[in-house]
Chain A
Amino acid sequence: MNWLTRLLGTRTDTTSLDAPLRDAIASWEALAAPELGSAHFETRYVVINTEATGLDLDKDRLLAVAAIAIDREHLSPHDSYYAPLEPDAATALTNLLTFAGKGPVVVFNASFNRSLLERALDEHLGLTPDWTWLDLHWLLPALYDEHIDGPARLADWMKAFGIETFQRHHALGGAWAIAQLMLAAQARARALGLNTPRSLADLEHSRRQLRRHG
Chain B
Amino acid sequence: MPAAASEMLVGASSDFLTRFSPFNRMEPEALEFLAERATLAFHARGSEILTPEMGQPTHFHIVQRGKVQARQLGPASVTDYAAMTLGPGECFPIGAISAQRPSTNAYVAVEDSFVFQLPAEDFLKLMQMSPVFHVFCTQYIASLLNQSRQQLQSTFAQRAAEQQTMTTPLGQLVKKAPIFVTPDSSIRAALEKMSEMRIGCIVITDADQKPLGILTQSDLLPRVVLPGIDLQRPIGDVMTATPHVMSASDSAYDAALEMATHGVRHLLVVDSEGRLKGVVSERDLFTLQRIGLRQIRSSIEGADDLEALQRASRDIRQLALNLIAQGIGAEQLTQFISALNDALTCRIIDLARAKHDLYGIDYAWLAFGSEGRHEQTLSSDQDNGIIYACPEGADQAALKSRLLACAKEVNENLAACGFPLCKGNIMASNPELCLTLDEWKGRFGDWIREPDPQALLNATIFFDYRVLCGNERLGDQLRAWLNRTAKAYSNFLRLMASNALQVAPPLGRIRDFVVEDDGTIDLKKSGARLFVDVARILALRADVASSSTVQRLRQAGTRMGMPAEEIAALIDGFHFIQLLRLRAQHLDTEHDAPGDNRIDPDTLNELDRRILKEAFRQARKLQLRLKLDYQL
Contact = CB atoms under 8 A, between A and B. Distances in A.
Interface of A: 66, 68, 73-83, 95, 99, 161-163, 165-166, 172-173, 176, 180, 183-184, 186-188, 191
Contacts of A73: 41-42
Given A99-B2, A162-B65, A68 B9 contact: yes
For the complex of A and B, the 8 pairs showing the least CB-CB separation, nearest first, are A77-B9, A183-B42, A82-B5, A80-B5, A75-B40, A74-B39, A187-B44, A76-B39
Interface in B10-37: 10-13, 15, 35-36
A76 B15 CA distance: 16
B1 A78 contact: no
B180 interface: no
Nearest to B46: A191
B44 A82 contact: no
A75 B6 CA distance: 11
A68 B5 CA distance: 9
B65 to A, nearest CB: 5
Contact of B112 (A79, A80, A172, A184): A184
Nearest to B66: A162
B4 interface: yes
A195 to B, nearest CB: 14
Given A166-B12, A183-B41, 19 more contacts: A73-B42, A75-B41, A77-B9, A77-B35, A77-B39, A80-B5, A82-B2, A82-B8, A83-B1, A99-B2, A162-B65, A162-B66, A163-B114, A166-B8, A176-B9, A180-B40, A184-B42, A187-B42, A187-B112
Contacts of A165: 12
Nearest to B41: A74
Given A162-B65, A180-B114, A74 B36 contact: no
Nearest to A83: B1
Contacts of A77: 6, 9-10, 12-13, 35-36, 38-39
A183 B114 contact: yes
A165 to B, nearest CB: 7
Nearest to A66: B5
Contacts of B9: 68, 77, 80, 172, 176
A77 B32 CA distance: 12
A184 B115 CA distance: 12
Given A81-B5, A82-B8, A161-B112, A166 B15 contact: yes
A166 B11 contact: yes
Nearest to A67: B5
Interface string B344-384: 00000000000000000000000000000000000000000
Interface in B134-148: none
Contacts, number: 75
Nearest to B114: A180
A163 B39 contact: no
A188 B66 CA distance: 16
B43 A187 contact: yes
26 contacts: A68-B9, A73-B41, A75-B39, A77-B38, A77-B39, A78-B36, A80-B2, A81-B2, A82-B8, A83-B1, A161-B65, A161-B112, A162-B65, A162-B66, A163-B114, A166-B8, A172-B8, A173-B8, A176-B9, A183-B41, A184-B44, A187-B43, A187-B44, A187-B47, A188-B44, A191-B44
A76 B35 CA distance: 10
A75 B11 CA distance: 14
Contacts of B35: 77
Contacts of B39: 74-77
B26 to A, nearest CB: 17
A86 B449 CA distance: 89
Contacts of A99: 2
A78 B112 contact: no
A131 to B, nearest CB: 20
Contact of B1 (A79, A82, A186): A82
A172 B3 CA distance: 13
A75 B65 CA distance: 15
A74 B119 CA distance: 13
Contacts of A161: 65, 112
Contacts of B6: 77-80
Contacts of B1: 82-83
Contacts of A83: 1
A157 to B, nearest CB: 13
A32 to B, nearest CB: 23
A79 B38 CA distance: 12
B44 A74 contact: no
Contacts of A76: 39-40
A142 to B, nearest CB: 16
A183 B40 contact: yes
A188 B2 CA distance: 30
Nearest to B13: A77
A163 B65 contact: yes
A143 B44 CA distance: 12
Nearest to A73: B41
Interface string B170-184: 000000000000000
B50 to A, nearest CB: 16
A78 B9 CA distance: 8
A110 B518 CA distance: 47
B120 to A, nearest CB: 15
A162 B66 CA distance: 9
Contacts of A184: 42, 44, 112
A24 to B, nearest CB: 14
Nearest to B1: A83
A156 to B, nearest CB: 16
A68 B13 CA distance: 14
B113 to A, nearest CB: 10
Name, among B4, B5, B6, B66, the residue most crowded by chain A CB atoms within 10 Å (CB to CB). B5
A177 to B, nearest CB: 10
Nearest to A147: B112
A92 to B, nearest CB: 9
Contacts of A95: 2
Name, among A80, A161, A163, A172, the residue most crowded by chain B CB atoms within 10 Å (CB to CB). A80
Contacts of B11: 166
Contacts of B5: 66, 68, 80-82, 172
B18 to A, nearest CB: 13
